[in-house]
Each structure stands twice: as C-alpha cells, then as structure tokens.
Structure 1
Amino acid sequence: MNKRISSPRQTQDIIKQHDFTFKKSLGQNFLIDENILSNIVSAADVTDASYVIEIGPGIGALTQLLAERAKKVVAIEIDERLKPILFKTLNGHSNVTVRFGDVLKVDLHQIIKEEFPDGAEIKVIANLPYYVTTPILMRLLTSQLPITDIVVMIQKEVAERLEASPGEKSYGSLSIAVQYMAEPRIMMAVPKTVFIPQPNVDSAVIRLQVRKEKKVQVMSEDFFFKVVRASFGQRRKTLMNNLMNNLYTKDQKASLLSVLEEVSIDPKRRGETLSIEEFGKLADALYTMK
C-alpha cells in the first residue's frame, strides 16, 4: 500500500519534486490534514460496497483514503499537469481510475456506464474549487445521475446558504434549488490553515443526500424556479413588489393579489420568509393564473 501523502511536509516534497505550480485560475488548494481527510470519508459513509466519483483529486491525498475504503473510485481531474503525480501517488491502488477532463463538460452518464456496474449507487466526494461550486453542484443534482450522496468541501458561507432555513440571513434561491433536490447537512467546519496554498476564507464539509422524490411536486419546475428567482430579486422588497418588478405587468396586479390571497400568503411578506412548500403552492397557483 502506498505511503499516505496528506501531511504538509509530504505535500511540499511532491510539489517540489515535480516542480508543480498552483494555478489560481483552477482554484487549486490542497488539503494537508489527514484527520480532516478521514472525517470527509466518514461523513460520506464510504464502505467496501461504495462506488465513488471524486472531483478534483489534486495530488491524490483524499483519493488514497477513499481507495482504502471504497469498492471503486473514479477521480475526475481537470489539470493534466497532475498526471505524473497521480500516477505515482495512486500506484498500487488497483480500484482507482483517473479520468482527465472538466467535470462540467465530460459525459458523466458515459463515465458511469463505463466504470461502474449497472445499478451501482454512487457517492460524489470532492474538495471543490470555490469559483465553480454552484455550477458543479447544480449539474450533479439536475443530470438524473444514480447518485445517493454528494459530500463536498466548499466555502463555509456557501455551505451555510445551502443549509439555510426560511427567515435566516443566508436563505435564498440557491438554498431552495438545492433543498428541492437534496437534503443538506453541514458535517464540519474546516479552517483555512489546513490548505496549501491557504485560501482567504474558511471552508465547510457539507453532505447532500439526494432525494428519491423532489421535496415538493409542482406543475412546472421551470416556472417554480422562475417564481423563486423573481421573489428574491431584491431582498428588502416585499414578495408582491418583487413579483411585479420581475415577473408580472401592472395590469396583472389584481390577479396576482387574488392568487396570493387564495394561497394564504401575505403580499407584504418577503421572499426569504417563504418555505419551499409555500413557493410550490404559490407557483402552481400562478401557473394556472389567467
């Protein structure tokens, strides 16, 4: 079994040995704390029956720990400069495959078909670059993939937004989009000091358990999210004002007020006070509004 590479000294040695330079444009920050890496694997409940997709393995520190526990790991890495490093650090782990490409562009369905058996339940685990967190999460959640869990290290502030409840400062359209499709739970906070190079903000590990059925059933998902986005257009404005400014015209005001009364939602409330269930009820009523 390969020597684990998760300490600061080993990480620095590998970087120096391969003359590797960090690309700011790729948001590269390597985790150098084995306890936190082990806790990520535990947070995802990885067992010898687990099939795992890891996004952004870096030099392979988390990949090594996943390989020790999982049935199979497929790591997707955008930076081909890491190929010789990963070849060395993962040598001996026969249950790991590294695929090079941008996770936002590769055909994930095809990768799953080629790498995993039919009916495999798959976990996605990653230390995500901050700048592409939301696009990657939304692609994973909306692509109809056979994923049971997504466990990711992301910016702490974003993790709080994903988990936020109605009325909380962090609650917004992203909270609703994620909670509509998954059940989020922050597993641990991670200080910025355990990365090379050190980012400017603290991180958190969040687990998203993908729902077998959406949190609410709506007539039109597209329209539901259109209503949600419109309702958060300007946070200090009332629900009525936001809907009028972003979705409806002046001559529809009376009809809009009538619908709000019909679903027992005060037009003076703000969007951030509405639950997903209330948004679902409102969207369906508005969808049938003439």
Structure 2
Amino acid sequence: MMKVKGFNTKKRLGQNFIFDEGILSKIVDLSGITKNDNVIEIGAGLGTLTRKILEKANMVVSYEIDKEAYEILKADFKGRDNLIVLNDDIMKVDLRETVDAYFGGEKCKVVANLPYYITSPIIMKLLESRLMKDITIMVQKEVAERICAKPGGKDYGVLTVAVNYYSKPEILLNLPPEVFSPKPKVSSSLIKLHVLDKPSVFVKDEKLFFRIVKSSFGQRRKVITNSLKSLSIDQSIIADALTKCGIDLKQRGETLSIEKFAELANTIYDMKM
C-alpha cells in the first residue's frame, strides 16, 4: 500500500492511476465518444479519467469497487447530473439492468483503465453481454498482444479467438510504467474492441465452438487429435471432421484460424446430429 495524493492505494485491487492530462485526453479522444454516447467506466479510481469522459459523453455510469475511492468520487463529482457512481464489483453486476436503468436500454460504450488482475474476465463479460458498441480499455501490454495475435504464435490462444469472435481489436497506444502511479512492473496498452453486429464467423452451436477452442489450447504441445479427447466426443467423428476440414491430424490447435475453428465446430455438429 502506498499513498497517492492522500489516497491509500490497494495493490490487491490493481490500482494504478494516470494523472497526466495529455494522456488522459488522448485516451478519451481515441475512444471516439461523443455527446450521443452513453458510457460505462470500470475502476474509476480517483476520477482522473472520469472527468475527461464526462466532457465528451452524454451519460456516464462509473463503477468503483473500493469504498474509499467511491466516497472520494461521490464528493468530487457531487451535483454532476450526467454521472452515476456505483460502489459495485463489475463482475457481479447485471449489465442489462445497468443499461436499462440508466441508458434507456440502448447500447453503450466502455472506456476504462482496467485492473490488470482481472482483465480477461471483464473483457469477456462485456463482450458476451452484447450490450456494447465498442470498448476502449487500458490493459497490460502482454494481454493486448495476446488479443491481437496471429495463429501459430506463442501469444495466440483462447482469449485471442474469443475476443476476435465478438469484435475487431486494435491497439491504439502503448504506455510505459512511468506514466502510472503507483508505477506497475509492466508496460500497458490502450486497446479498442470494435464490437461486431454479429460474430465474425458463423457457428451452429456456440457452446460447442468454444469447447473445441478451449480444448485445442488446453495443452499446447499436444497434436489436435489428442487435445480434443477431452471433449468426450467419439474419436472417429473428430478424426473424420478434421480430415473433412483439411486439418492434419498431427497439427496443433494453436495453428488454426478462427475461421478453421468455426468450420471444424460446424462439421462436428453436423456429424453428431
């Protein structure tokens, strides 16, 4: 724990704040929000980014899990009629209720400096809600590189496929540890997820598609026929499906593109029917 402008930061909550006005303005500018947009902010902290978002957005709902920071936010932004500050854990929040209650049920945008210890679950919750127009978030640089990775590389994995299923990701900005307080041990990236109106690939059974993806990356050194044994699907069906899709039985799962995963999932689905 260390004090930042009189506030006790909590390492367990991944609190790393940006105070540089130029960088904060650039984050909001790159997010592309306008007076027509409603915005959810996650991890408002001391409100440095919140203040910039409020200048551009129509309505903002800021979530802050830390009670001390929440009280500071409430006092600092008292009387702002286009801001709702909520002392809640975003992972326990019903996003549909939030959108209905504060945005009239209309899709919104997300702009946030996410806590790094829980980045991936938050991203997936936002994407799976299908309530977001786009998502502009500060994440660990390593996570941004995983999200934007290409098939076959060491960074390519379940998160890559999942995020690219729902959106088109783009790295907007890289930032060194020095711009944060307290200074983290890692570099950071601002990433924008352009949420798609429909998934990037057509799948007949979404649950089966993600089961196949997760199994394929479960043990990266295994060939795909061995990785997919965890699916509890007849091995002859899997072998036939792989062959029909033109996938070598000794190929590794991390070499498959999202399009090839979709083709495989649909082929297995048809064979099981």
Is the TM value for this pair above 0.5? yes
CA distances 1:136-180 after superposition (whole Å, capped 9, x unpaired):
1111111232x1001100111011111112122211111001110
In 2, Cα distance between equivalents of 1:167 and 1:34: 39
1:215 aligns to what SS in structure 2?
Answer: coil
In structure 1, stretches of 5+ residues that fail to align are 1-10
Residue number among 248, 251, 268 corresponding to 2:250 in the alignment: 268
1:189 aligns to what SS in structure 2?
Answer: strand
Amino acid at match of 2:178: T
Residue number among 96, 112, 134 corresponding to 1:126 in the alignment: 112
* Aligned partners of 1:67 and 1:93 also within 8 Å: no
Taking structure 1 as the reference length, the TM-score comes to: 0.88
> Larger Cα Rg: Structure 1 or Structure 2?
1
Taking structure 2 as the reference length, the TM-score comes to: 0.93
Equivalent residue pairs, number: 270
The question of 1:227 aligning with 2:212 is answered: yes
What residue is the counterpart of 1:135 in the other structure?
A: 121
- Give the 5 Å matches for 1:2-21: 12=4, 15-16=5-6, 20-21=7-8
What residue is the counterpart of 2:268 in the other structure?
A: 286
Identity %: 46
Amino acid at match of 2:231: L
What residue is the counterpart of 1:87 in the other structure?
A: 74
What residue is the counterpart of 2:130 in the other structure?
A: 144
In 2, Cα distance between equivalents of 1:76 and 1:277: 36
* Aligned partners of 1:150 and 1:209 also within 8 Å: yes
What residue is the counterpart of 1:171 in the other structure?
A: 156
In 2, Cα distance between equivalents of 1:256 and 1:162: 27
In 2, Cα distance between equivalents of 1:83 and 1:280: 43
Amino acid at match of 2:120: T
The question of 1:66 aligning with 2:53 is answered: yes
In 1, Cα distance between equivalents of 2:216 and 2:98: 38
The question of 1:154 aligning with 2:139 is answered: yes
In 1, Cα distance between equivalents of 2:256 and 2:125: 25
In 1, Cα distance between equivalents of 2:268 and 2:196: 26
Residue number among 196, 204, 214 corresponding to 2:189 in the alignment: 204
Amino acid at match of 1:80: K
Residue number among 5, 17, 28 corresponding to 1:30 in the alignment: 17
Amino acid at match of 2:46: I
* Aligned partners of 2:45 and 2:70 also within 8 Å: no
* Aligned partners of 2:99 and 2:107 also within 8 Å: no
In 2, Cα distance between equivalents of 1:190 and 1:98: 27
2:201 aligns to what SS in structure 1?
Answer: coil
In 2, Cα distance between equivalents of 1:254 and 1:142: 32
Aligned-pair distance for 1:248?
4.5
RMSD: 1.7
What residue is the counterpart of 1:188 in the other structure?
A: 173
What residue is the counterpart of 2:85 in the other structure?
A: 98
In 2, Cα distance between equivalents of 1:74 and 1:59: 15
CA distances 1:176-205 after superposition (whole Å, capped 9, x unpaired):
011101111111111111111111111101
Amino acid at match of 1:261: T
Runs of at least 4 residues off by over 6 Å: none
In structure 2, stretches of 5+ residues that fail to align are none
The question of 1:216 aligning with 2:201 is answered: yes
In 2, Cα distance between equivalents of 1:52 and 1:222: 29
